[in-house]
Structure formats: C-alpha cells, structure tokens
Chain A
Amino acid sequence: MLRYVLRRLLGALPTLLVIVTVAFFLIRVAPGGPFNLERPLPPQIMENLLAYYQLDQPLWRQYFNYIGGLLTGDLGPSYVYRDFTVDQLLRQGLPVSIQLGGTALLLAIGVGTALGTFAALRQNRAGDVGVMTVAMVGITIPNFVMAPVLTLIFAIWLGWLPAGGWGEGALINKLLPVFTLALPQIAVIARLTRGSMIEVLRADHVRTARANGLPPRVVTLRALRGALLPVVSYLGPAAAALLTGSVVIETIFGIPGIGRYFVQGALNRDYTLVMGTVVTIALFIVVFNLLVDLLYAVLDPKVRYD
C-alpha cells in the first residue's frame, strides 16, 4: 500500500512539472506585466522594479529560478500585494477556503447520498420524482444566480442572515456560502447515488442478502457500499475544486479565501500569485485523485494495489 502511494506521488511529479511549465510560460506570453499601470511608470523606476524582482533576466533563467524556489517551498513575493509573499497570502486564505469547502463537501456527501438512496428505494414514485426535480434545480441554477437570490431572500427580505463577510468564521456567516457551495454537489451526488444504487439493488449479491432475510436497513447499507464507487470517483476533482475556493462565492459573500487570488492574479499579471494558486490547485487535484483510488480499494474488494 505504502509503496503504491509513493509510486503514485512520484508519478504525479512529471504531470505537475508540465502544469507548472505550461502555466508559467502562458502567463508570461500574455501581453502586459505586473507593473503596467494606467499611467506608465517612469522608465528608471520600471527598470529598478524589474531588476528588484529579477524580471529583467531572460525568461528561461526566471523559469529555472522559479522551479528552484518551488523545490525549496519558496513561492516568491506577490507583485501586486507588495508587502506579502505568495506563501503568506496562501497561508491566510487557504484555511478559510478549506473550512468553507470542507463543510460544504461533508454536507454534500451526507445529504447527497441520503437523498440518492431515498430516491433509488422509491424509484419512479413521488419521493423519487421530488428528489430528482430538486436535484435538477441544484444542477441547473448556477451558483452566481443562487448566491444573490438566497442573499435577497434570507438577508434582505427576511433579515435572518448576514448578507456577506466572514465575521472571523462565525457560524451564521458561513450558512449561506456553505449551502450555496454544497447545493450543486448535493444534486450531482444524489443523481449519481440514485443511478448506481438502482443498478446495485438489482445485483445478485443484494438479492441474496435479501433472500437471507437481512433487515432492509442492512441490505441498503450493503448495497450503498458498492453504489458509492461512481460517487467517489466524482468526488476527487470536486473536492479539490471545493477546497481551493470558489471565485464566485468568495466575491459575492466577501470571504477572504484563495479563490479570488486566481482571477485577480491573472488579471493583474501577478505572475507569482497565479503560479502559487495553480500549484496549489494542481497539488490538491493530485492528492485527491490518489485518495479516490485508495478509497476504491476500501470500497471495492476487487481492487488491490499490492
């Protein structure tokens, strides 16, 4: 098992390198630079700035400098948030994003699988149709519509919840963002669970279990174990995306996570900040894909990694 994990992590290194390289050169060829303001800086100052950040060196040398820094865990200074290194910015933002995304993820897994199982057990009856309609709403309505509409209802018309802000992580501030983040995931997970659950419930081993007189609850739980496989493989990339923050949610609710850095960084040509977020996201994706594969082995006895 350990050998498998190590091999997978080593195997991910070339992928990461490709991602970092492509991202690095892509953002560099984009026109403009971090110090191109609306009113151009005097050439002397510009020269000094570029020299200070070593941006005047040839691109290939900058690239190797960056890779070197990356290997020692140094993500470089932010060009736009002048007083911070990228490392510090991520350190501040990431816990917030992870907290929010993690809560949403747990909520989505719990509610989603429960709803999906419920619907599968009542296939084509009222309960099923109801759950699937709600799921359709969850999948169809994008979060940048859902978030302001929910704010309108709960914060402005009813006045129950704050319209935005992080509030040092107060529970009441988290309710709306977590729910908005979780809703589409709940919907997808419910649909996936329902689909595979219907198939598994017809499988031989479940019929045998039922024939043996096991109580329905136990049968359902057994079936669920097999039915969760597609959900788990969906959750890999989804979890990575949730935990690394959502631009929309963070913008609408005014939450200091790292989702915003990505868009802002790219627009401001804050090269190091963009690279920092790209590396973070890529790392999350690699790790979660690995976790998915490991979970597969737990859930499906046919899968072995030794």
Chain B
Amino acid sequence: MSLLRGTALSLAFDDHAILEAVDIELKRGEMLGLIGPNGAGKSSLLRCLAGSTQTDSGVLQLGEQRIEDIPRNEQARRIAYLPQQTEVHWPLSVERIIELGRIPHLEPWGKLSERDQQMIEQVISGADLLPFRHRPFNTLSGGERARVLLARALASEPEILLADEPVAALDPAHQLDVMAMLAEHCSRGNAVIVVLHDLRLAAHFCQRLQLLHQGRTLAVGKPGEVLTPDNLENAYQIHLPDSQSAIDTLLNITWKRIPK
C-alpha cells in the first residue's frame, strides 16, 4: 500500500505551467529521490505535497484518504516538510527549535508531555546535537544548522518527511550525516521524499528516483533505470564521454563516513 499518492498533479502560475500531470507514489520504508535540473518543478511538487501550495488539478491521497478530508493538524502529524531555506527568525536555542517539532502533537493548552520530552531527547542525541542543545541557533555552523532543522522535522515523528535539498551547501561529510539521518528514518517504517542535486548521493541512498524535466516526469524507477545516458542528456543537457561507464561508477560508488 502506498503512503502517499499524487495523481495527475498540475500547477501553473500566470499561464506558465510548473507541473503538468505529474504522478508520484511513495511506499512505506522507501526513500524517493526527486532529481532534475533547476526549474524542473521539484520544489513546487514538494510544496504541493506539503500542502503549502494548492495544485490546480489532480488528486492527492494520504493512505486511502484524500488529503482534503484529513484535518490540518493530523496532516501536520503525518507529514513533515523541510523547505529549501529555513530562516530562524529569533535566536532560539537548539532545544527550543526541536521542541517546535512537537507542536502538531500538542493540545491547545497542553504542555510537553513525557512522551514529547522523550522524543525530543531521542532526536537530539540521534542528530548528535547534545553538545549544542543550549546554543542559540544563529551561532551554529551551516552543517549544524542543517542537522537542527532536520531534527526539528523528525521530532514530529512524521510517517512522511519531505526534504527540499537538505544537503545543499554542506561539505561531503555533513552531507553523509544528513543522508544517514534520512535513511534511518526510513528504516523505522517511515518514508522520505528528498530533492537532491547530487546524483551520487541520490544513486547511493534512494531506492527509487523520479526525474523531473520541465514540469513532467521524464523517468521513474530504480537509480540504474533512471540514470541513463539518454535521460541525463535530455534532462540536464550534459554529455558524458563514455557515459555508461561513468554512470556505472556513479551507481557503484561507496560512501563511508569516518566515525567521529
């Protein structure tokens, strides 16, 4: 059974088509990578799935239910969204930011329950944030910030996490840290849709890839099926000499983070 299913999702701004009849499906336990060149519609698709942009047409289902029939708060408990750029507007401490992730679970007047506290502790240690928990967010480095924001999203225990370029502007080691957190979330029976530009990371971490180009799905399937010389040429306008062997290298590369 699919956790999330979008059928024929379309979106246009001022007659300019952003998404044209895009289908998307997400199964439990999987990490789906959304790839494609800039302007392909990846972020827009993610925003539509997160509910912050309304599609012009198409059907979006969460499990068996249409998304419109699910109360806003329940949606927020089941789907977490990590936008491309998140600005934290006040110098909150790391712990306070992660607490925000529990908002969808709180009663209007309720305080953090023991269960909430437990989850917060778990996420803080899982994201390796213990040494920073009392530091103001604005004093953290880029890599630390990315981990805090992801930890905030994970703190709501979403069965679906939508992450828009969570590794942009991170060095390779921090990229691996973040991807490992996403993989771990999937391994607990949840699912992730992640927008990536780094095809090596996409090939290595995602069970399936969906390649978008000009608002349409160009290819979807296992990394080896999607990352073909033809698809890369069509979507990214790049030509690789001896492309198949280059792609084989891409697919078989092994990443390992040196333990800290």
Task: Note whether A and B form a binding pair.
Answer: no
Q: Which residues in A have some Cβ–Cβ distance to B below 8 Å? A: none
Q: Which chain B residues have a beta carbon within 8 Å of chain A's beta carbons?
A: none
